[in-house]
Structure 1
Amino acid sequence: MEQGVQNGVVARNNYEKDAKASNGINGATKGDPSANKAVKSGGALVNGEVDAQKQAQPASSASDHAKIMKTLPPEIAHITANYFPLPFILQRLAQRSHNDLQTKIEELARISIGQGATNGNAPGSGEDSSEENQNKKANLLTFIQEMHSQWVKALVMSEWGRKSEQVSKLIDLHAHIMEQIRKYEQMLDRMGNIKRNLYNARLPDPDIKTALQVLSTGEAPFFPDFGFIPPPEQSAPEIKKWMNELNVLLSVRLNLDEYDKIPHWFRNYTIDNGRVTFKVKGEFEIDLTIADDDFEKQWWFLDVRFAFSPAPAEPSDALRFFIESKVNEALEAHGLKGCYEYLHEYVLTHKIQTIRRQAAVLSRRLWIDHTKVESLKRALSIQYWSQRYSAIGPKQGPNSAISAGPKSWFIIGVNSAKTPPPKAPLGAPTTSSIVIRWFRDGKEVKDEDLSFDTEQISAEALLKQIIGKHIKHILSSIYSKLLLKPRYKDRQASVSLSIDNDQPSDSCLMVQLTHEQTLKVQIDAITGSFIFHPHSNLISRRQNFLNTRARDSIEDGLLHIESIRCESLFEELARRGRSMGWRMCKPPVNQEEMRKLHSSKEPNSAIWLKHESWNASWFLVVSSSSAGDSWLLVSVIDKTPPKTVDPTGTTTTKKLVRPNRLNAPHSILDQPTVVISSFSKLPIKSANPEFSNDFFVDMATMTADTTTVIEDIGVLAAAKAERKMKSVTNPHLSSRLTMPALVVGTGIFLNLSSVLKVEKSRRQHKVTWAGDTVEIITRNVRTRGPGRLEITREAKVFVKDMRKVSLLKKGFIDRDVYFDPRQRHFRLDLRVLSHQSCMGILGQRLKAIDRLVDFVASINGIDGVNCDSVTLRKVVFTYSDPGNATAVEQKLWKVTLDLVRNNTILSLEPDNPHMRILDMLKKLINSPVGFEQLPYWLQTTLPLHRALESIESAWTPISSNGQGLFDVVPRAIDWVAVRFELPASAPNKPPRKLSLSVRVMDRHGENWWAVRYARDEAHPDDYKTALSSIFASAMSPEGWTGLGEAAAAPVRGGGIEPLLTRISDAVRAMATGSPGAGSGAGAGSSQGAPITLD
């Protein structure tokens, strides 16, 4: 049974099952098929004898048997000896069937069958007639049929294998006989060839007789003699004469007879040595002569030389004979014109064939696999860059066949004289010429000047010329398109083009990628592939993709160059920024949102970066395109409505904005509801910045400043405050940075609202000391721990009225507030973390400065009030009674104002007379007019409270003895109720009481102390007698005036203190029983006009 060859191994048959058979199988002992070897024990077949048994041979006949075996013919070759056994075939078939069946079952299991159930009910029919089920059954049926056919074949082979032993022997015998017949026929053929080849090896018999005669006598008289008479020899003068005559004839014929028949291209000729030489530049030189003085006779050919290279210096005899015969025929038929036309066409054809041979050599050597040469009858087609678009990807369509890109080739042919060349002058004679038609990327190019060197024929030079123009077209087109882009048009990046006409591969396009990297674009002249320098993983990947997948070299090349620039920029930015705390992250918004960041229609790429100190809502987006790079600071917000659970347990979604969802630091957002809330363009000076450490430090400073400014603008926008950005020179930052200042109106800070998250001030007034605006710039940015950036903003508040701050000295009035009287401004250092607004802090500081300025302005020029210490946090000043001019030395009372909190805290010395009205003073200082009124009321009420304190000290022993009581009840800063209480004058009577009201009242625009007393209903005359002298006196020398039942004293006169003292003394005299002090009180007084108080 023959099963052929499987897996490179010749299969054996299974008919030789005898263990003693030679070349057996399944472990049988293999015998040596050679008859020259000794037969081994165990039995062997000799010439196919299966049942022959080895006979026992005596030891003496062993050598004779060996001799007999050597004389026997070789054993018949068993061609079926290496067949595979049938059991092996069946085993393999069974295993293959099992594996295929298992694979088929898994394949059918993956095919889903659609359920026809409706409303959850199973189909009523037991037969599934769906298309998926039918395909599944057909697939299974096809598989079973294939397996069945294979097993049927195996059954046939098993039936045949039962008698394969005899068939195999017959096959071996048949093969042996056919081999012998083939050898016999082969020997006959070889003998016939030898016989035929012997004819060429035969030699004629030598002529011994003629040889002997010639060698002995030196002549052979029996040779025939034709009787020719040799011409007479001519002398040199005769030859010269004949030549001159022939030259004259040639000149006369050309100048007189055939002057109008000479072709235009034969105008260049010379006559010498009896011949005329016509020279056609770049083609040939031909020598002609005449054989008769009759000018009607034809010209005759003498010699021809080719005037181009490569060409034979001397034509061979065969070529010379061929050209001579053809030229003479043309001269006879058409004269000189026919001669020119024939040689001209011959030379053109010869040049094309020369280029064809050179191109064929190039296509087999240096340009192998990249050029294709095809003969088109007389013309020649050369395709270059044939492997450039060999397989650039699947077609767009149902069939995924690989399609080739556009081809480039040129055709060299002969242009007939029917149509003149494109650049031929008008009226010039025309003739056929070699023309080149160039098809670039499948389209003919007609506006290129393809010069052809007619003297130096070189297919390689022609290839380089056309390929050089193709490379120039590609690089120039890319260069021109790049120059139209704003990036290169505005000289944000450099681009240059260099064209080498001699070596097209050296032509290059230089494109600046980044500050340090420049891309060099070249095109290999042989393969047409792009070559990018420098070599890197990123550039090599783009280069390979462009060379294997591009369809349009110009558009795709432009796109890939821009992609390389963007990717190089992003790679360098991410690589160098990683060590400075910048990391690349995934865009948190979708493409629709990202379009908001790019106003240009140019294709762009973007990289999203985040600093380690930023929260999740801020990103730095670097967008790069041919229109330029943009550095954007982007803030995003997640508008996902929060999920809530109602009392019934149902989860609902509220349509609320959740900006706090982005508070987790460094979280990567990928939500469809994340949108861009704001973005700001960073003022990067250089179009191609150098990514140094200083750059990233400046970038961190700039972004931190911008984020803070954005937060400030958001706060100001919510407060509907006017603001603007102003270009200023920042002396604190690097000159590389250009960050504008934020200018805000001063009034928004001094009239704070809840928008600024600061307690609203109670002092609503118009600010007159400060300028109209506050100028805010960034002073520095520092790192405060890992992931924390602290920004110091500098705010300048200009002072319009320097009189109000004349008491302030140059220097720091607080840790972060500096006053410069020469520059007329306050400088505030505001320290906040990045992404935080400084408006709240600025508002608090301005409010504190406003309070300070108001207080300093209020005490400025007041006699008796002196500032000891003035800061934003605390003001310490002293005051005394300016009206007491008689005192030699006045006691100065110290007041401390704590300005740290929004409410000013006022502190007095323990022995200060004003301690009894401290709460009222605190309320006054926090009122809208507190700073202006506090010094005034302190000085105004000082004599009053000093007198009350003195009176209280005098009444202390009386109160201790039970002789009377003294009490003071402050009702306001300018109003005090004084009460005296004396024991009853008689038993069973109430105590005697006296109430005085001390109050500041206005009289004609001037403040006076008015002292009134209320009579006791039980004892109306007790106090009248004691106080009548006091209240009845007018114009007391001590500065007070009696008004009958009241008394008045000017506020600035200091009369209130002696007045209260006199009253106290009078009442104390009543308590102690001593003589009244008021009896003589008015002795020295003068009567005057009564005083009426308003």
Structure 2
Amino acid sequence: MPGILMMNHSGPDAAAALRDGENKKRDHDGKLINGGWNDARRDTPAAGPVANGTLSKDAGPNGASMAVTAPAGPSQDQYSQLPPDIARIPTEAYNPLSTLLLRMSQECYNGLTDTLQNMADIPITQQTNGVVPNGLGSHNTANSQENAKANMQKKLLLMKFAQDQRAKFIKLLVLTEWGKKAAVDVSKLIDLYAWTKEQSAHMEAADYALESIRIHANDIKENNPDITTALEILSTGKASWMPSLDYIPPDPISSEQALKLLRYMNTSLSIRLNLHETLPRHLRNWRIQSGRATFIIDNELEFDVISFVEDTSDQWFFIDLRLLFSPAPTITVGSRFFIHLKDQADFHLREKGLSGLFDFLHNFVLTHKITVLRSQALGLVRSGWAGSLKVEPVHRELVVQYWTNRPGKKNWIEIGISNNKPKNGKVSWRGPPIPSLTARWFREGKEVKNANLSLDWKKLSMEQILKHIIARHTGDILRSTQESLTSKIAVHARLSETEPTDCTLEVNLGTQSNAMTLSVEPVTGSYILQPATALSARAEFSINQGREPAQIGNILTQTLAQTLWNLVQRSAQQLGWQPVARQSLNLQMVKAALKMDILQCALYWPRGWSPSWAFATVIDSSGESWWVLEIGATGNTIEYAEQIKLDRPGSSSLAINRDTLASLERVAIQLLSFRVTARQLEKEKKSCTLRYEFGQTRPSAELQQIARRWVLYLQTPDLLVTKPAEQPWLEPNIAITCEGLRAHGQNVWHIAAGRMVKAVAADMHKLMAASPQSSFSFSEDGRFRILLSTPFGQDILGELRARLRDVNRLRSFATTLQKRQMRLGSSSLQRVQFQYGPSPHTAAVNFSTEKEITVELSSNNPHYRVHKLLTEIANDRMPSLSTIDPSDASGLDRLCTTLILTRSLLKVLHEIEIRTPGNVRNPAIHVHSIFKYRLTYENPVCTFDIRLQPKDDKVYWLIEDDFRTRPMDMRPTPERGQGHRRLDSLMAKLKDLFSSKGEGWFGTRSGLVAELDGVPDALRRLDEVVLGCKMEGGYQAPPPLEQVAPSGNHGPPNGVQQVNQQARMLHQQQLQQQQGRPQQQAQPGHGQIRKQPQQNQRPQTQPNGRHLSASQQGRGGRPGQSNQDVIEID
């Protein structure tokens, strides 16, 4: 129920007061009846004094009349003559304004909360404290500019919220003001609407009640009673004038007796029908069941007969009849019709036997079928076929005329009963024929001979019969129209024998979208052209003026040609193509250049095209064709023309729309791009091949190959620069396809497709599966595709060569990573990220520039301290680097080898360095080269050199004590002073350390020798030993050694001289060994360089492989325990 806003909230009667207003009821004299202008409600004590039921307009505050006399009011009789007041809608049924205000306020509050939350989500850059240089405050920094943008976004959010809420409250204010003014009128209108709905419901209830009374009255209706007989029977119990029959009731029959009797009757009927009855051929279909014989006539009826005696000369008796067609009534046994039918059937059985009964029932059924069809035809005339059908009343025949409003001669169908007697009057050996229903079809006033109308006489439907006839008629019209069209036009006729709406003639000129469908409306017979356009509407009107099929074909051809032209023009305008001026290139010039009989043509400049090329659309009698024209410099000549051939399945053409024209533009761009590339190859005196790419239309027994697009084939040796000894990794040919202009029309997309050799394809597939690329795709069989972008009108050779170089570089580096068991993280043609080591560290190699390879490492990576050195190694700019692995053929190979060899060392150095934050001097780590480092301690003062040394099939990290191995003048600065002396405790602990061994390392007289995996433990032990001698309060150097004057007694040198002497000898031997023979090479594996498996620990062997004698072995069999030991390390 609609409601209005009540503005007065002072009391429950406020709404009623506004609603009543001044519109009181008046009598026929125009006087007020329900009180004066200011009367109060009569059911409240606030009502003042009333004079004759009317309150004076001048009444005072206490109800006293201010007028001299009051007019005489109406009498009580006048009140009783008026109708009752209309029921008013109570005030509680209206929605109060306060509810709307509360909801609006709550919505405003929720919106404000969301707005504040969105403002808080906008990030603000934190300002740094302090004053920036040049006296500029923090508000002038870059952060302040970012914060200004954020503040502006917040203000915009708040202003938008305020503006939206203001608009809502303005609407609420307008609604409130309108409610104050229109409350009275709208309230009365609502009351009146409720009253009318109530009266309508009452009237419907009254109609329903009257109908129910009429229906129930039929059940209680009785015939006129026989009062005389009723009184006599009620008083005496009998009536003398009613005879007594005195029948003796038969004995009841049991179930066994009934079954026995039925079986006996079945046997008697079977004997009679098989032996004593001569049945015609149409009564040979019968069965016996339940004591009766049932004869079946297909699609018509079945009837039951019975014989009560065994005498075969006795007549048959009719029992029941069932109709076998639809729609058919159900004949109820005992009904008036059945009684009449039984009498007639028994009469024919008595006079003519079973044949007579069949003739009687058969003619009855045929007549009834015609009656059913006539009633259905009349129903069609009254329904959807009104005005287009005419049913003529003929005895035992039905004549239905269709398409009554169609110009020309009449069309009708006749349905009647035919006796089927031959024209020569001869009777067949099968017996006389039986009558049947037949139909004749007259089209345009002439009977259609040999029509072979297959009508269904079992399921009678006049509508289906008409549809069948009209479908045949429509098919003949469309077939004649198809024959009148030229052979160049594509025509497809779809005909149906049962549904006229399925009979269509589709005519196509050129593209599939430029098609028109001609059909005939089944009811009226009017021609219909689809789709409905302005052109098709004019053509349809012309065809419906009684045109012949030949004229209809000419009209369709002209309409299709005009429609095709409009489609091309509309699609070109949507794409923004600029038409070429007809003044420069007219139709005659195009005809001369193309050598065709052109009906229409259009030349365009698509977006991004230069004025020297044009895209042309040519329309002739066979449809449309597409051309690429090269225009001369003057703009009024055509120097070159090439047709875009569209080999479509079944010679079908593309639909003309934006997508089609855009696709054709891409095909044209392919031609232009390949022409430019071919010209460049000719300049370089290199060959290429332009071919069609064929595809299969559909899976079938005969494969039909069609051209999809053009493909440019290039020779791989013409694109790649390979080294003489390098094996080819690509197959000889690369296929180039053009994918059209980019979105902005500046560049052209190309795709280069090739195939890698089998030796490279497997590794490359794993690489691409782990890291798919957006511009590079790879399949398992080695095929790859590269996306290229080149400027419009330029060749693709430079871009293609650059991308192939990137792929080759990525392939070779991925092979290097796999060989060294490094895990690939992500990769692209410009960047490869990988992980190495047990606790994996991440590194990346960037190939973005052509001549520079950049190594990317995070600051937490232990190799970050040698970042620059690794970059130099990757770019082959470190010729002094010794080759450890002979298989390293490039800088990337040497980079991976270096990462493996230095991983464990740099990791432990990183741990030692970050052990105490801020402590970078105890120890201080110095990088001399990629394989040489120095540890310098300042408390206590000592230095150690760490370098990589190959030996046989392995490499070792040598940790040397500079105090022991170097002469005094060659030591590092902290220990170079004259008479420098170490702490005794440090010397003792180092001596013990250098005499011990551990997992993967062992001590020598002057240091430690560690394998790749053992160097972390060795360095940690060394660091613990040195820091264990740390002096509290700072390092205090011990007193220097005293200088001993030379004397005649040449005794043994002191300890320092002995160490210096040993260091010099060791240094000289190293130099001799390096100059005398080349360094040993080894293969890396699991952090070590190996050629063949050997034992990791060699306690009785020197690092150079020589076995120690018993005199050279100290306690425990370890080297370095004798004063005469000299450790030689190559």
With the length of structure 1 as denominator, give the TM-score of the two structures.
0.33
Greater Rg by CA: 1
With the length of structure 2 as denominator, give the TM-score of the two structures.
0.32
